[in-house]
Chains A and B, each alone.
Chain A
Amino acid sequence: NAGVTQTPKFRILKIGQSMTLQCTQDMNHNYMYWYRQDPGMGLKLIYYSVGAGITDKGEVPNGYNVSRSTTEDFPLRLELAAPSQTSVYFCASSLRQHRYGYTFGSGTRLTVV
């Protein structure tokens, strides 16, 4: 059971380039999330999804887009990368019930230069 898998683990982008961060889970979780983690700032929610075909903005959605065509996959798209998007990105999934918590992926470290 792989849990939540994120690719790539590391990436360097030039300003203005675009890329897609991949996230897939094999636990049949309906809920999926994208967070970014910056030093001293905790984790901020970018986008989330409560099921296939349904997505919504989180706290910091600007500069990002998502899609959820299947239960398993929740890719995050960065258009026109900016240095402010340098961060560690975490994908997570969960069941509806709070007590089960989130299962996080191991993260993607992105640097925009």
Chain B
Amino acid sequence: QQQVKQSPQSLIVQKGGISIINCAYENTAFDYFPWYQQFPGKGPALLIAIRPDVSEKKEGRFTISFNKSAKQFSLHIMDSQPGDSATYFCAAIPSGATNKLIFGTGTLLAVQP
């Protein structure tokens, strides 16, 4: 079974701090690594994504770092704000998998004012 492991399960960060969420994948080759953000009562929404031939991608305060040899990737949220409080899911699309997403287990982020 293809897996994406995510940690930590929950995270508390002070306003202005850096939030870091880590994911690791196993075995299979993957084509794409998106991160999704989910607010309570809502469906997940695409936040940022990276291809495996890129080591880092930055969009505003959000950065993905990708380490292909270690099969790990992480999300960094710089200058974290209370409005960033949400559940974050890493995900991966296996090669040739018809765009099917495999999700990590999620990280509940709380940014304290």
Q: Evaluate contact between B100 and A48: CB separation under 8 angstroms.
A: yes
B94 to chain A, nearest CB (A): 11
A96 within 8 A of B: yes
Partner of B34, one of A33, A96, A101: A101
Q: Name the residue in A4, A33, A101 with the highest tally of chain B Cβ atoms < 10 Å from its Cβ.
A: A101
Count residues of B near A (Cβ-Cβ below 8 Å).
25
The size bracket of the interface on A is 20 to 34
A-B contact count (CB 8 A): 61
Main secondary structure of the interface of A (DSSP, over half): strand
Binary per-residue interface labels of chain A (1-26) against chain B in the complex, 1 for a CB within 8 Å, 0 otherwise: 00010000000000000000000000
- Which one of A31, A44, A59 contacts B98 once the chains associate, using CB atoms below 8 Å? A31
List 8 A-B residue pairs with CB atoms under 8 Å apart, sorted by A's residue number. A35-B103, A42-B6, A42-B104, A43-B44, A43-B101, A48-B100, A99-B49, A104-B44
Residues of A within 8 A of B (CB): 4, 31, 33, 35, 40-45, 48, 50, 58-59, 90, 92, 94, 96, 98-102, 104-107
Question: Top 5 nearest A-B pairs by Cβ distance?
Answer: A104-B43, A101-B46, A98-B32, A42-B103, A42-B105
